[in-house]
Structure 1
Amino acid sequence: MNRVTPVTHDAIIGCILGTAVGDALGLPYEGVSSERAPRLLGPPDRYRFFLRRGMISDDTEHTCLVAGSLIEANGDVDLFARRFASRLRWWILALPAGVGKATARAGIKLWLGAKPNSAGVFSAGNGPAMRAAIFGAAFDDLPKMLQFVRSSSRLTHTDPKAEYGAIAVALAARHSRDHDSVDANLWLSDVVDTVGDDGSELTELLRRSVDSVATGESTKSFADLLGLSQGVSGYTYHTVPVAIHAWLSHPRDYRQAVTEIIQCGGDADTTAAIVGGIVGAGVGEDGIPRAWIGGIWEYPRSVAWMRSLGKTLADTLHEKRPAKPPTVNPLAVLIRNMLFLFIVLFHGFRRLAPPY
């Protein structure tokens, strides 16, 4: 049954927090093969990043950058591009760990004077997809949503494949938000209509994902069939079909959907962030395990700060007027990033030791 309602606080906050929890749960597993991860880290049933707490990475941070830019843009896609570009410049300056190559290069180009429409580099990485769910959670107007998804994608990645992957994720979050019972074929039809013949390679992969779910195949088995037995890569035509499979397999079970995608290995923080954002847009904050939300250890982008960001975005879209998004202390961000880098390095050295 369709929920014919205006944009809700639940969908946007659920999407942001769903992204954050998936990101934090998957982060310790990033780059670890699906075979080694259980022996090295154990099951992804709790946070294993730092003292049983979780921290977010670029996946959630970009979602927050997008949300803040949407608040200030008030429906103006050109203003959104300028505000997002400005945020991206300063985000790069704070030395985030694990930033993708294409995003890093785009950020450097922006500092060297490139305009938002010329900063992107030719890459089919999953950067645009990782920050796309928030658009589906936020927008009722489909053409406008697509304008913003394309603007966000092209700022860093100019390969159309990256854009098509982001569109598929945004449409999934929108479908998750608007339908109590997910209709995989209806969602796929929307994707096909939107990306057209140029996106046929992706839509064929997504069709295989839909068919696999219909037969009851696990997400891990589907990833294996795509040749991703050692882990899901950051190539968007690997990331998105497997993430969609996890969503369609458990569209209202946040815990199971996120757990299954992490168990596929590889770029686990990004895949789990994407799945978490899609499912979170449908189930809201109440559908995300409370202990997982409470276990996020972050500052200055705390859980309370992310809730405030989501509420401000929802109010802005509902009232159709710009507002001021919640801010963060740049010095606090830099200090936090130094601590984060230290913990990441610890995990890196730990992986050099057994079990292999």
Structure 2
Amino acid sequence: MSRDAIIGCILGTAVGDALGLPYEGVSANRAPQLLGPPDRYRFFFGRGMISDDTEHTCMVAQSLIEANGDVDLFARRFASRLRWWILALPAGVGKATARAGFKLWLGVRPRSAGVFSAGNGPAMRAAIFGAAIDGLPDMLELVRASSRLTHSDPKAEYGAIAVALAARHAREHESVDANLWLCEVADAVGEDGAELTDLLRQSIDSAAADETTKSFAVSLGLSKGVTGYTYHTVPVAIHAWLSHPKDYRQAVTSIIECGGDADTTAAIVGGIVGAGVGEAGIPSRWIDGIREYPRSVNWMRILSERLASSDTKAPTINPIAVLCRNLLFLLIVLFHGFRRLAPPY
């Protein structure tokens, strides 16, 4: 495992998530008027907070530590964490993930808990697999187990595989070979994933032609913003990565400027690029600007170190602290929601 890739992926996910969070659900045209450019945190007095995108990535990392390569054990540990995560009243949880969490509480087995949805939930937590798992077959099995826990539509799984392979490619190659990466994706998703591979080919061609990520999103009919449908999210996220594979700042800001599900899209891009550039490639002021507890930046670093080592004891968090934090987070989210009711429109 690569320590730099793991910590870069986790912190890259967190920073992208925190930067994109205030822009979530705002159209690409209105966002600059309402919030300004995504060059600094605008969530809470100039500071950033994370959402479910980073929380799921951290829960996956914790479960990977405890599973030590055992796919079934990983699924059970992640399912257990997801149950308690739902109970802590997270704001903005996706419908499919929420339903899967409730099914787990009702005693449904992890392999059967997924809801038929092609949402981007599995993709948002997939980059860490590519950053942390060396063996390709093992990585793919773990990605599938993570995806099927909440989403049973194969499209959600295929999108997650593409993201995981992108993070893996980013950490293993100094220069991105987009065609090599696409071949890996095509092999992994097979003929059933042909629609996704066609969209990813469009991403590659557009990036090679130096088209902006926003222009590419518009060409897919996403002028108002990138939706949570994984076949919208993943191709646009890949375009941002291919356009700026070693420039974290540009990659993340370019996808936030597309509007829509900005926290998730930026988290995905941040995780992929972060796996390639490490913590050193992420602006330090953005890392330092995250104000979180109990999943603090320092806690994420400890998590990364343990995942990169042979340690099988994952760092824990205080559930009471999580609940208190989530209530504060909900209040801030409500403030932003009411703010959007006012001009400019």
Shorter-normalised TM range: over 0.9
Which runs of structure 2 are paired with 1:24-35 in the superposition (5 Å)? 24-35=18-29
Match of 1:190 among 184, 187, 192: 184
Residue identity opposite 1:248 in structure 2:
L
Is 1:330 matched up with 2:319? yes
CA distance in 2, matches of 1:134, 1:310: 10
Is 1:342 matched up with 2:331? yes
Residue identity opposite 1:336 in structure 2:
R
- Aligned equivalent of 1:354: 343
Q: Scaled by the length of structure 2, what TM-score is found? A: 1.00
Shift, 1:140, TM fit? 1.1
Q: Scaled by the length of structure 1, what TM-score is found? A: 0.97
- Aligned equivalent of 2:277: 283
- Aligned equivalent of 1:112: 106
CA distance in 1, matches of 2:121, 2:253: 21
Shift, 1:324, TM fit? 1.1
SS of 1:35 mapped into structure 2: coil
Residue identity opposite 2:98 in structure 1:
A
Q: Stretches of 4+ moved more than 6 A in 1?
A: none
CA distance in 2, matches of 1:55, 1:174: 26
CA distance in 2, matches of 1:343, 1:11: 32
Shift, 1:139, TM fit? 1.0
- Aligned equivalent of 1:14: 8
Residue identity opposite 1:87 in structure 2:
R
Is 1:237 matched up with 2:203? no
- Aligned equivalent of 1:215: 209
Which runs of structure 2 are paired with 1:1-356 in the superposition (5 Å)? 7-316=1-310, 323-356=312-345
CA distance in 2, matches of 1:195, 1:334: 38
Deviation per residue, 1:253-286 (Å, 9 max, x gap): 0000000000000000000000000000000000
CA distance in 2, matches of 1:178, 1:139: 12
Deviation per residue, 1:39-64 (Å, 9 max, x gap): 00000000000000000000000000
Shift, 1:193, TM fit? 1.1
Deviation per residue, 1:155-184 (Å, 9 max, x gap): 000000000000000000000000000111
CA distance in 1, matches of 2:188, 2:115: 23
What are the ranges of 5 or more consecutive residues in structure 2 without an aligned counterpart? Answer: none
Shift, 1:107, TM fit? 0.2
How big is the alpha-carbon RMSD for the aligned residues of Structure 1 and Structure 2? 0.5
What are the ranges of 5 or more consecutive residues in structure 1 without an aligned counterpart? Answer: 1-6, 317-321
Shift, 1:133, TM fit? 0.1
Residue identity opposite 1:261 in structure 2:
I
Count of aligned positions: 345
